[in-house]
Amino acid sequence: MGSDIRLRFAPSPTGWLHVGNARTAIYNWLQAQREDGVLILRIEDTDRVRSRRDFEQAILEDLTWLGVHWQEGPDRGGSSGPYRQSEREKIYLEYAQRLLSTGKAYPCYCTDEDLAVRRAEARALRRPPRYDGRCRGLSAAQRRKLEAQGIRPSIRFRADEEVITVTDQIRGMVSFPSGFVGDFVIIRSDGLPTYNFAAVVDDALMGITDVIRGEDHLSNTPRQIMLYRAMGFPVPRFAHHALLLGPDGHRLSKRHGATAVRLYREEGFLPQTLFNYLALLGWAIEGGAEVMDPAELVRHFDIKKVRAGSAVFDMDKLLWLNSQHMHFLSPEELAHHMQPFLEKAGLDTGSVDVSYLTAMAGAIRDNIQTLSQAAVPSAIFLKTPDLDEEAIKVLTLPGAREVLQAFRQEAERLCASSRLDPAALISAAMSRTGLKGKQLFMPLRAALTGSIRGPELQAVLGLLTREEIIRRLERALASL
């Protein structure tokens, strides 16, 4: 890695990777690639109750599946580890101690209950619910007395009254008025650091030069800037991107459908699709190209071009993009990606050879938008399909029986090999019946596939063996 640029993605392992967080990870990765910098993965697991190792593992897996790779992290080490906040508690206490000794922080003996009561009072008086500074000026004797009562203090940062201006790479200058921030807790009474404090200590010690994250953290940034300054650390560049919204304009949540990357993976979206889609949400490439691979995205990416306005997650667009990416795959690759989804749907892919699966993938690719959707059209080729209601209706129309008989007779007559030549079969049936178009093809499609929709009939005829075609025609005739 060539430059001094260092970025980080810092998920909290309290659930599966959310698509919104995946987008943050992708922006960080793109910027790191573009700047020839380093991407660090840091696990923010200070919330002991909600953090779980299996979630951490799942986040690492999902990032890897997406194609987001990091150079330093809990799984691969690095020069500024450890990379889990739960393993850095001593470091936070040490820096908090420094702030205490310089008077930039002080012990606070207010209990959660006291604070909740005072916040409610402030709200009732329409005053901002800031900390009222009660423990700011306690004397040493007063502190000793409170400690003698067994109260374990938290450590609070002394926030000066000053205007804080953030120069944001996406939003430009954002100013927070003096008094926006009251004295805030950096170490809780249980000895654990708060998010703002741990993030600043880590970003500083890990040499982070650029912080790219969601705008839900913008209001934390003035606190963080105060902490950087108080501890004498250089302040990184910030970029706060807008959050993802659902179609109703509210923040994307489970109510709108799947929000976990894992669920998109299970649904049969390709990783390159989700990467492409999330990367381009809220940012467009001049000239309007939409279907791109990560290398092209790196070439065009610039964090400054990301729009400040929110981005709406559009499922139809994602489906469209997935079908585009599936088209870029060779039939072999598509078959390879499809196979686990077919197996999961109960289809036996082990008894046919790879060339059959490949031809099948080629035949159905226009009928599917996700890999899991491959199960329905593939079933036509992997087992005898049941006749659905519409197919039965078509088969009972006048003339259908004659059409099926004509196809069966011609299939038997054209017995050059186990595969039939679809064009020869169709033209022979055409001359035998004097029919063409729908009247000819619909009964055949219904008999062979059990449905009136699906892959090209030519492809179906080309893939099924002659025996299988005859068997399915006879089955349909018998059902009439």
436 is annotated as an active-site residue: no
Which one among 10, 230, 403, 469 touches ligand GLU, defined by CB under 6 A? 10
Counting contacts by CB under 6 A, is residue 12 touching ligand GLU?
Answer: yes
Complex with ligand GLU: residue 9 or 264, whichever CB lies closer: 9
- Give the count of residues interacting with ligand GLU (CB under 6 A): 7
Q: Minimum CB separation from ligand GLU for residue 23, in Å?
A: 12
Counting contacts by CB under 6 A, is residue 199 touching ligand GLU?
Answer: yes
Q: Which of 258, 237, 248 is nearest to 304 (CA)?
A: 237
Counting contacts by CB under 6 A, is residue 213 touching ligand GLU?
Answer: yes
Annotated catalytic residue within 254, 304, 344, 436:
254
**For helices 422-433 and 437-449, what crossing angle results, to 10°?**
120
Is residue 64 within 8 A of residue 118, CB to CB? The reply is: no
Is residue 26 within 8 A of residue 66, CB to CB? The reply is: yes
Q: Minimum CB separation from ligand GLU for residue 11, in Å?
A: 5
For residue 431, what are its two tokens?
Answer: 């001359």
Q: Where does this chain touch ligand GLU (CB under 6 A) — which range of 6-14, 225-233, 396-404, 413-421?
A: 6-14
Complex with ligand GLU: residue 96 or 206, whichever CB lies closer: 206
Which one among 34, 143, 217, 337 touches ligand GLU, defined by CB under 6 A? 217
Phi, psi at 146, each rounded to 5°:
-65, -40
Q: Minimum CB separation from ligand GLU for residue 90, in Å?
A: 20
Q: Where does this chain touch ligand GLU (CB under 6 A) — which range of 7-15, 277-285, 360-368, 467-475?
A: 7-15
Complex with ligand GLU: residue 199 or 292, whichever CB lies closer: 199
Complex with ligand GLU: residue 197 or 301, whichever CB lies closer: 197
366 contacts: CB under 8 Å, gap ≥ 6: 455, 456
Q: Which of 369, 374, 274, 278 is nearest to 326 (CA)?
A: 369
CA 21 distance to own-chain centroid = 7
Phi, psi at 46, each rounded to 5°:
-75, -20
CA dihedral (287, 315, 278, 243) positive or negative: positive
Complex with ligand GLU: residue 213 or 325, whichever CB lies closer: 213
In the stretch 332-361, what mask flags binding to ligand GLU with x, by CB under 6 A? ------------------------------
Q: Buried b vs exposed e over 264-281: b needs ≥16 C-beta within 10 Å? A: bbeebbbbbbbbbbbbbb
For residue 457, what are its two tokens?
Answer: 């009939």
Which one among 22, 29, 44, 184 touches ligand GLU, defined by CB under 6 A? 44
> How do strand 6-9 and strand 38-41 relate by DSSP bridges?
parallel
Complex with ligand GLU: residue 15 or 129, whichever CB lies closer: 15
- Chain positions contacting ligand GLU, by CB under 6 A: 10-12, 44, 199, 213, 217
**Which residues carry out catalysis?**
254
